[in-house]
Amino acid sequence: MSCHLTEEELWSGLDRDAPEVNDHIAGCPTCQGRAADLKRGVEVLTAASSPPASRPMPAKVGSYRIQRILGEGGMGIVYEAEQQAPKRLVAIKVIRGGKHVDDYRLRLFEREAQTLARLKHRAIAAIYEGGRDDDGQPFFAMELVRGVPLTEYVREQNVPRRARLELFGRICDAIHYAHLRGVIHRDLKPTNILVDSDGEPKVLDFGLARITDPEGTLKTETLQIGRIMGTLPYMSPEEARGDADEIDVRSDVYSLGVVFYELMTDQLPYRVKKAALPEAVRVICEEPPRRPSSLTRSLRGDLDTIALKALEKEPARRYQSAAALAEDVHRFLTDQPILARPASAFYQLRKFAVRHRLFALFTVALIALVATVSIWARNTNEIVRKGADDAMKLQDLAMAVTELRLAESYRAQGRFDAAEPFYRSALSAFNMLGREDREGLALTRLASLLISRPSDEKGGKESDYVAAEELLTDAMELFEQMGSSGVEAQLGALTLLQTLYSPDVWGFAEGLAEVNQDLQALQAELDARGRENDRGQRPG
């Protein structure tokens, strides 16, 4: 009987005591024999490399007095210990095997200490010291975290959904902090995220972390190429396939997506715990996850979209960072349009209406009133039809004013890309309605947005500045046609041109000189008007 389970997959499952591998071995005579051979080999190596007797709990490790065992794993033992100076309780992690530890485990252990030394964040357990004790046994001391696993905490405390989302956002912030410092966790799951009595999360266990240099290239090589490392239900497809070269920060984003899914539904997106390893890997890599709303109907909409975006099979289709995932969670909590879906005008207006209910109700009422007048006008004589035309114009004007205010609101929030389409829509409407004053205002406001919008390129985007110059030129022509009533508006447009032509923005010296002359002339005209007004108000 042949079996498609590779040697790496079999060994990884045995090493992790994975239920899915154990179930597969129980029904596969071929793998039973292979597993027995592997176990015998491990026993021989262990016997050859281990000390003659098991090491009892020490009284001290370095300068730390040991209190009790907190936990044991394949890598090492964690003790609660007392530090003398400063006086505090800490967690001491000691590698298994002592002086006889093999190079592979030693590198893993030292890498975990190296990883934690990079990170100083309130939501990541801090490392205090690393070294070797008097017997040469490697250890490191770290922050003692008293808490419960994330999913256990939210269930026991019956944490409401909003608080769960806020808690998840803080976890994403901690992981993004680690990513910025070249650390990819690679084993994110609820048992590695403890929540303390104050409701604050702490991310633990960076034993499988991958370290990169500041440019994002690998600095520490993967220790076992092709070996599946981590916890299967939380693995990204590239990790489940053992594609070491494909693992990056987006692999942690996928694991965060599984954690997010579990926080929202109390279930995992895939049923893989009892599946044989090859089948579990196939499910993760090929089958789409269950929609969260199929389990909890109230998740339909944005939360569905956020979860499925984080769980995309292809890394390029996921959120590209933990910060981007956290931002969409924040947008949902503040009733803003999330970025994971195309932001249609209707969708943005609906979100705006949620945040500004009174203004939205007033606008809807105004539009409804105008629509009612227009429907009535179609059944009357020529004079009434003209009234209907006026009402339609009023409706268009109301919509344009609403769009302009919406654009201003988005701009005030620093959301320049969201504001731009509303500025352009309002500008088009004012042009069609012949409202030169409003059109000039929209032209200058849109130009101002293009000038001030941040850019990845030093000095700004030239295309934005060229467009802004054209908009301001059009505005100047409108204000000149308006005569004396447009002089003050013309002054504002010229001031924007002066900003655009300044050396700090575009540096168009010839244009700047001409604009400065026009500004002086306009200012002189306004000063003259002010003096005439003053004389007209003096008593005769």
143 - beta bridge partners?
90
Instruction: Name residue, tokens 């002054």.
Output: 491
Nearest alpha carbon to residue 130 among 146, 105, 111, 145: 111
Segments of the chain assigned to CATH 3.30.200.20 = 60-143
**Top-level CATH class of 148-333?**
mainly alpha
Q: Which fold has domain 345-532?
A: 1.25.40
What is the structure's pLDDT at 216?
42
Most confident among 172-181, 198-207, 340-349 (mean pLDDT) = 172-181
Tell me the pLDDT band of 395, cut-offs 50, 70 and 90.
confident
Q: Is the peptide bond before 86 cis (omega within 30 degrees of 0)?
A: yes
139-143, 219-223, 447-451, 460-464: which has the highest mean pLDDT? 139-143
Residue 46 pLDDT level (bands cut at 50, 70, 90):
very low
CATH level 3 topology of 60-143? Phosphorylase Kinase; domain 1 (3.30.200)
Average pLDDT, the chain: 78
- The model carries a pTM of 0.55
Helix (H) or strand (E) holding 135, with range, is none
CATH 1.25.40.10 domain position(s) in the chain: 345-532
Q: What are the tokens at 129? A: 């010291």
Rounded to a whole number of angstroms, the distance between the first and last alpha carbons of the chain is 117
The tens digit of pLDDT for each residue in 317-374 reads 999 999 999 999 999 999 899 988 754 556 556 656 665 566 656 666 667 766 666 6
Token reading at 196 = 């303390």
Q: Where in the chain is the domain with CATH 1.10.510.10?
A: 148-333
Positions annotated as catalytic residues are: 187
E-state strands within 327-484:
none
Q: Hey, what amino acid is at 6?
A: T
